[in-house]
Each structure stands twice: as C-alpha cells, then as structure tokens.
C-alpha cells in the first residue's frame, strides 16, 4: 500500500560541479538535495481527477470497484439441469484391503511388512461419507494510480478522450474456476509529471560523502600517514590514500551524486490508472461423516466419487437430499457466498457437487490380538494407529 509523504521536509542542499557526462554539459552547476526517506507516492495534489476516477492519492491512490446493477443482473437465461452420476466405487475386498496396507507399510521406513502378510482379516465395514462443495467463481476489479519512468513514449492522456468506466472495459475471462490476475492500463488516463522524488533533477546528493565525491581515509583516519611506532622518528605516507587523507567515495564512485531510483534518471514520470482484474474460485466444503471416528483433515486430502453436479451462473439450494445435513449445508453455503461476494465482485459461475468418499473399517487379527485400520478415498489410502510391527517411534502416522 502506498504511503503518503508530507512534502515540507527540511532538506539540505549543496552546490557541486558535475563532471562531463553526468548531466551532458561540463561545468554545469546543480543544486541537489539529499534523498528523502522512501516517498513511495507523489503528493496528494499532484494529479487531477480524470472523469469517472475522482479519487486521488488522498484515497491512497486506489479504489475497489463495486459492479453496477446491470452487470450483476446479467445471469445466464438458459440453465443447465443438475446431473446425477452413477457411483463408480468398487466394492472393497480382502485382497484390496491387504494391498492397501502393504503400500502403506512400504512408505514407512520403520514398519515391518510381515504383519501385513500374516494378518487375518475378520471383517470389512464400509462407511458412507459425503462431501458437499460449492464453488463460486468471481471477478473483482481494482483501480489504482501507479507510475513508471517516462521515456518519451506516446502518452495516451485525456486529450484523446474520456476514460471508459472500469466495468465497461472488456477483458478475456479465463477458463471457469481457474484463478488468474491481469493488469491493464486504463485508456486516456496517462499524465506526465516531474519526478516527485528528485524534483526533476534525476539525481540525488550522495548520502555517503554529502556530495563531495571523496571521504576521509579509514586507514589513516585522514592523517595522511600511518600511525608511527614510538621507536620510529619518521612517519610513512599512507599508501591507501597516497598521503592525501581522503579517498574516492565508494557509494557514488566519486560522482558526489546518485541516480534517482524512482525515475531512473529520466527526471519525469508517466502516471496512469491501472486496472487489476482478479478471478478467484471461492470454495465452501462440508463433509457429512455420520459420527465416524476418523480425522477430518485426512478426508480433505483425498478424492471422492462425484455423484451429483449442478453448474450454472447461479445455483439454488438442494432440496430433499436423502441426508438433510447436506441440504442444510447447500442452503447455508449459497447464502453465505451471495452475501459475501455480491456487493464486491461479479459472480461469473457457480458449481455445487456431492462426492461419495469411500471409507472401510478393516478389523483383523495378528499374534492373537485384534487390530483395526481404515482404507479411505479413491486412492485407497490407509490410516492405521496401532499397526503391530513398528520398530521406532520416529515416523509420523497418517
């Protein structure tokens, strides 16, 4: 965020003689000021309002744009019907459960696989888990003043016409539900102004040597001679400064000044209004787990089988789903997204889906003791808290 700077700073100035090539003319005398502290933005009264863009740097040079009502009402008239998909999850078998455990054990450096090979599976208990997801794909527009060094390029300013309304500017929308950010220059918003940091000089007085170009030698502390020992009658001339007591400033290479980092020595800045368009996929998730004793965070990381899909410009809450918790989650999610995004962004598309996440409790016996592990997700991942053949405690159990 840009910070405003009060421009009544007390500045020190000095008269210095520029070497040939620094300002084009030999012997040109310039009054240079010391570099002020980080003026990231020009003064508030530098730029005049442009048409629809009444704000200036008094408003921090930026403005979030609320979509006009006509933009919000442009929803698709043709709606796609919700799609119910056939479940494709294969039934868990003893061999599938054992193979999943083998893969899990092989991924652990200190787990033995003998138990996985010799255990006796006693029971497989499939569980029913549903994951409801609402995705709202939004477009947000933000305008802000920005600038760059002016290099004598063509200036598209107010003389070429009135700048268009921010939401009237046509931009290429990315693929739905794919996040992206793009920046554009608002037409007819460019202005050329003197650099506010160096006041059009293009350079600053060096802070290291205060414009002198030379500094006191650190080896002899300006004494021109090395520190003499008590038994020596003659002092030796300092070799680092050749006996002058001063050295060329390393900060500015002896020039006494530095190039302005804001205008890069161009002396002028091109100011313009920049439009930033952000496309974001906002996701709401709810997992109905039916009192399953299973870490919820693990379910967020696996794939399920999609059994329902509804994608339209706007979607409506699900009704009469076999599990009321899913219907309530749909109603709550849609209301939450509309309240959150309608007044700040343009909703381009919404999609709600229901996934069936397979989870199977595997009860087995090994060495006359009973144990249990879970096989979950379409990937057949394993969650085993009490696997019997562990040789150390340094592994993270998942």
Q: What pLDDT band is residue 316 in, cutting at 50, 70 and 90?
A: very high
pLDDT score of 219 more than 90: no
151 burial type by CB count under 10 A (0-12 exposed, 13-18 middle, 19+ buried): exposed
**Beta-carbon contacts of residue 103 (< 8 Å; ≥ 6 apart):** 380, 382
**Position 347 pLDDT exceeds 90:** yes
pLDDT over 80 (residue 227): no
Among 196, 150, 206, CA closest to 38: 196
Residue 91, number of CB atoms within 10 A of its CB = 9
Average pLDDT of the segment spanning 136-160: 93
With contact defined as beta carbons under 8 Å apart, do 257 and 16 qualify? yes
**pLDDT one-digit tens code per residue, 57-116:** 555 566 777 887 766 555 445 567 777 776 777 889 999 999 999 999 998 888 888 999
Structure tokens belonging to residue 274: 């920049």
The whole model's pTM is what? 0.73
pLDDT recorded at residue 68 = 75
Query: What's the pLDDT tens digit per position in 157-210?
Result: 999 999 998 899 999 999 999 999 999 999 999 999 999 888 898 988 887 787
pLDDT at 372: 94
| CA gap 276, 53 in Å, rounded | 15
Tokens 């996929």, residue located:
281
pLDDT at residue 16, rounded to an integer: 33
Q: What is the mean pLDDT of the chain?
A: 80
For the segment 256-301, what is each residue's pLDDT rounded down to a tens digit?
788 898 999 999 999 999 999 999 999 999 998 777 778 888 888 8
CA dist., res. 382 & res. 102, Å (int): 10
d(C-alpha 192, C-alpha 268), whole Å: 7
């Amino acid at each position: 965020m840009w910070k405003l700077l009060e421009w009544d700073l007390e500045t020190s100035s000095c008269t210095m003689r520029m070497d040939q090539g620094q300002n084009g003319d030999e012997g040109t005398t310039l009054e240079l000021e010391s570099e002020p502290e980080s003026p990231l933005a020009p003064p508030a009264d530098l730029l005049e309002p442009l048409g629809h863009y009444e704000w200036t740097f008094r408003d921090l040079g930026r403005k979030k744009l609320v979509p006009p009502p006509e933009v919000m009402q442009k929803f698709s008239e043709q709606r796609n019907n919700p799609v119910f998909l056939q479940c494709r999850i294969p039934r868990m078998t003893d061999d599938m459960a054992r193979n999943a455990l083998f893969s899990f054990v092989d991924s652990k450096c200190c787990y033995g696989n003998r138990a996985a090979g010799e255990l006796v599976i006693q029971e497989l208990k499939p569980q029913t888990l549903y994951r409801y997801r609402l995705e709202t794909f939004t477009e947000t527009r933000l305008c802000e003043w920005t600038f760059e060094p002016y290099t004598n390029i063509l200036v598209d300013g107010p003389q070429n016409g009135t700048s268009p309304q921010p939401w009237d500017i046509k931009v290429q929308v990315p693929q739905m539900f794919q996040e992206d950010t793009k920046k554009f220059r608002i037409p007819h918003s460019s202005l050329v102004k003197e650099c506010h940091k160096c006041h059009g000089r293009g350079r600053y007085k060096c802070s290291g040597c205060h414009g002198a170009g030379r500094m006191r030698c650190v080896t002899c502390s300006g004494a021109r001679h090395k520190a003499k020992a008590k038994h020596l009658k003659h002092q030796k001339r300092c070799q680092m400064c050749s006996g002058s007591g001063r050295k060329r400033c390393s900060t500015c290479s002896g020039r006494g000044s530095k190039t302005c980092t804001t205008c890069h020595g161009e002396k002028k800045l091109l100011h313009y209004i920049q439009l930033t368009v952000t496309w974001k996929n906002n996701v709401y998730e709810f997992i109905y787990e039916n009192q399953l004793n299973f870490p919820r965070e693990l379910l967020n990381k696996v794939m399920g089988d999609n059994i329902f899909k509804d994608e339209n410009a706007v979607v409506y809450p699900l009704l009469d789903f076999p599990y009321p918790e899913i219907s309530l989650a749909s109603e709550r999610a849609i209301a939450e997204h509309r309240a959150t995004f309608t007044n700040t962004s343009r909703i381009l598309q919404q999609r709600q889906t229901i996934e069936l996440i397979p989870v199977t409790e595997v009860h087995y016996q090994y060495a006359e003791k009973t144990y249990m592990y879970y096989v979950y997700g379409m990937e057949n991942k394993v969650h085993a808290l009490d696997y019997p053949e562990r040789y150390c405690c340094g592994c993270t159990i998942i």
